[in-house]
Amino acid sequence: MFTDDGTRWGLARRLLHDDTLATADRVAGLLVVLYGQPISRIVRLTTDQVSQVDGQVRLMLGRAPLTVPSPLDTLLLELVRTRRGRASLGHTVNHRWLFPGGLPGQALHPLALGKRLSAVGLPGRVGRNTALLDNAAVLPAKVLADLLGLSITSAVRWTALADPSGNAYAAELARRAHDPR
């Protein structure tokens, strides 16, 4: 399932600028609608995957760091500073999870995050698929895989889907013939 650009970008604007929403929900939603990240991967993100280098915020979703643009960079750093679990007993700050869960030391469950994102208007895979398709239309499969944490096979499929003429797929096959890894 896919969503139209107006809906996707409207949701992205809301997540970027609506201060009434929880920072965790805003960041998670933006990771879905901008970078096509699955909820199951988002809940496993840790503070170790967020860094600041030369004034830029970077997020490791795959093998290569993704430079996070403003104002998402500010939201991501705010989440690192303010993340709290919902446990009623035990310590909820002694963990590395960006999205801590209800039990001390545990990440938020993907179903719980899915419900939270649905509540802010982001249903299931719709935003994710559209984000992946849009990114695949402008990035080579290898870059897509390295930045977003996709397998090369999945990245090639998304790139081929984004380019129905098959030019991107043919280019990837030619690259593989010269660079067998």
Q: What is the mean pLDDT of the chain?
A: 88
* pLDDT band per the 50, 70, 90 thresholds, residue 88: very low
Domain ranges of the chain: 5-126, 139-178
Give per-residue pLDDT as tens, 120-156: 998 767 788 889 999 999 999 999 999 999 999 999 9
Counted residue by residue, the chain has a size of: 181
CB atoms inside a 10 Å sphere around CB 54: 6
Residue reference for tokens 């399932």 = 1
What integer is the mean pLDDT of 22-34?
A: 97
Question: Do 29 and 122 meet the contact criterion of CB atoms below 8 Å apart?
Answer: yes
Q: Compute the chain's Rg from CA coordinates.
A: 17
Q: What is the pTM of this model?
A: 0.84
- 166 band by pLDDT with thresholds 50, 70 and 90: low
Query: 94: pLDDT confidence band, cut at 50, 70 and 90?
Result: low
